[in-house]
Amino acid sequence: MKFFVLGILFVIAIKGLFVFFTSICVPATGGAIFTRTHPSMIKKILENIKLEPNQVVYDLGCGDGRFLREVAKRYNVRAIGFEINPWAYFLARIYNLFSRAKVKVVFANFWKKKVCDANLIFCYLFPDVMRKLEKKLERELKPGTLVVSCNFPLPDWRPEKIIRAAFPYNDLIYIYQFRP
């Protein structure tokens, strides 16, 4: 009984921390809360892009860093993530300890970071921020840079491809190549 009660308290504490960290981040995230891209979606994305070793990949709002680890393992790229939610950042750092992938996760607001050297931008954000993101990418990216957005399109860009993984993780994934 004692362990049961302690277990319940532990779960409540974890959920409380999640809600607390998510709410204090809202001014920066604009509603893009910490959820994870399903592995089958990541697999699908990696099958549909081509990268060379040592190219630079950013995940803008990297969550627990799962996309970065997979892309680094598959293509041997330099994978960098920005994450502002302390809980997600903490998880990313822990998972990275147990991964052979070389991934850098930075506790930062990606709106304040330059991504000019990117070869691939990955994001899974929220509709409210996609127009602002589009403008940032137009200012900073070099021609030819790949951009992959899960679930939410960049409003004025035309995707090269729209793909989806198998049901039930079949949200749309938009793949762009930046052409100024």
Ligand X SMILES: C[S@@+](CC[C@H](N)C(=O)[O-])C[C@H]1O[C@@H](n2cnc3c(N)ncnc32)[C@H](O)[C@@H]1O
By CB under 6 A, name the binding residues for ligand X: 25, 28-29, 32, 34-37, 59, 61-63, 66-67, 82-85, 88, 109-111, 124-125
Q: Which lies closer to ligand X via its Cβ, residue 55 or residue 61?
A: 61
157 bridge partner residues: none
- Among the listed residues 139, 171, 144, the one whose alpha carbon sits nearest the alpha carbon of residue 160: 144
Closest residue by beta carbon to ligand X: 61
Residue among 77 and 88 whose Cβ is closer to ligand X = 88
What's the closest the beta carbon of residue 146 comes to ligand X, in angstroms?
A: 15
- As measured in angstroms, the least distance from the Cβ of 7 to ligand X is 26
Distance separating alpha carbons of residues 69 and 18, to the nearest angstrom: 23
Map residue 65 onto helix, strand or coil. Answer: coil
Please say whether the beta carbons of 154 and 134 come within 8 A.
yes
Nearer to ligand X, 8 or 85 (CB): 85
Q: Which of 32, 41, 55 is nearest to 121 (CA)?
A: 55
- Whichever of 122 and 178 has its CB closer to ligand X, that residue is 122
> ∠ CA(64), CA(66), CA(68), 5° rounding?
110
Q: Are 159 and 134 in contact (CB under 8 A)?
A: no
Q: How far is the CB of 3 from ligand X (least distance, A)?
A: 32
Whole-number minimum distance, CB 31 to ligand X, in Å?
Answer: 8
To ligand X, the closest distance from the beta carbon of 171 in angstroms equals 11
Of the pair 6, 94, the CB lying nearest ligand X is at 94
Q: How far, in Å, CA of 146 to CA of 121, rounded?
A: 6
